[in-house]
Amino acid sequence: MTISVWKQVQNEMNQSYDLRAQLFDKISKNFENRYVISFYTRFGSKAAINEADAQMLTNMLSGSLKTKKHKLLLVINSPGGDPLAAEKIIKVLAEYSENDYWVLIPGVAKSAATMISLGSSRIILSPVSELGPIDLQIARGERLIPAYSIITAYDNLMKRGIDLGEKKRIEPILQQLQEFNPAEIEVYRQINELASDIAIKVLKKGMLKKLNKEKIKKMIKIFIDPAESKVHGRPIFYSDIKDIKDIKDIDKDNKFNLQLIQTDDPKWKAIIEYHTRVESHFAATDIQKLLESDEGSFRV
């Protein structure tokens, strides 16, 4: 095997950037020639969306000549992370797109990634693309645990202790409560409340600017109240959103801008090819995050 053939095989096995770069132009042509950037994170605590991602995004966009000529289209796939970091990313995207960036979700955009999507002027997804509740995710070992689950477990234990009858032993409950830090629980509670405020604020500035905050809050309850989706990990699909009565009743002019693309639509071909190549690249390497465009690739 020659060196050139060996290099080609290695590139194909690892799904190198050169194999993906050609797809940005194909995707762009299907979406008004917008400047396409992608942001992917691996599933796990090390890859949670954080404030450093906002700086990485700023570095990419500030060094690009194309952002001055085109609107933005962000392809995002992530289980989420910190809502405060999402707010900063929304601000960066808005700054470099004159408050008009679109989000395209080929697979999963949960938690903070859902918040970034809500800050856009259009969300593009397939019938199987997943959004989710926007509450904070907490790193526990290699996993991300929704803060809502931790808060709920703590509150339930406290309630059981308060309601305990005289003849029942409280020691087991006190032992379980030792696993929690009350100060941390309060911080989680405050950040989750702040995440809801941020989501309402960005929608008020963006897609739903003509609605008041109370109506927006009612419309997006499925995103800001984890109890609505019963289980945090449960996906929120396009069909779930479109079936919500409050959205139908309040958003008469369809300003909550969701664009559905069927998986057999020719437009989806380049998207799913890019998505598959990135997922294969993650599987073949140890990278945690990937931010790229047709001008270059940033890897963490």
Q: pLDDT tens digits for 199-255?
A: 999 999 999 999 999 999 999 999 988 766 555 457 899 999 988 999 989 988 889
What ranges do the domains of the chain cover?
3-141+181-299
Evaluate whether 135 touches 232 at the Cβ level (below 8 Å). yes
The angle that helices 266-284 and 3-14 make with each other, rounded to 10 degrees, is 110
Q: Nearest CA to 132 among 78, 51, 185?
A: 78
- Provide the pLDDT confidence category of residue 173 given band limits of 50, 70 and 90: confident
Evaluate whether 96 touches 180 at the Cβ level (below 8 Å). no
Evaluate whether 133 touches 146 at the Cβ level (below 8 Å). yes
User: CB neighbours (10 Å) of residue 47?
Assistant: 21
Rounded (5°) CA angle 292-88-48: 65
Q: What are phi and psi of 130, to 5 degrees?
A: -115, 130
Tokens describing residue 117: 């999507």
Q: In the predicted model, what is the mean pLDDT of the chain? A: 88
Give the global pTM: 0.87
Q: How far apart are CA 201 and CA 86, in angstroms?
A: 13
Give the per-residue pLDDT at 231.
55
Give the per-residue pLDDT at 8.
52
| CATH architecture classification, 3-141+181-299 | Alpha-Beta Complex (3.90)
Cα→Cα distances 113→64, 83, 107, 262, Å: 23, 9, 11, 22
Measured torsion, CA atoms of residues 23, 26, 28, 33, in degrees rounded to the nearest 10: 140
- Provide the pLDDT confidence category of residue 167 given band limits of 50, 70 and 90: low
Q: Nearest CA to 200 among 186, 210, 214, 183?
A: 214
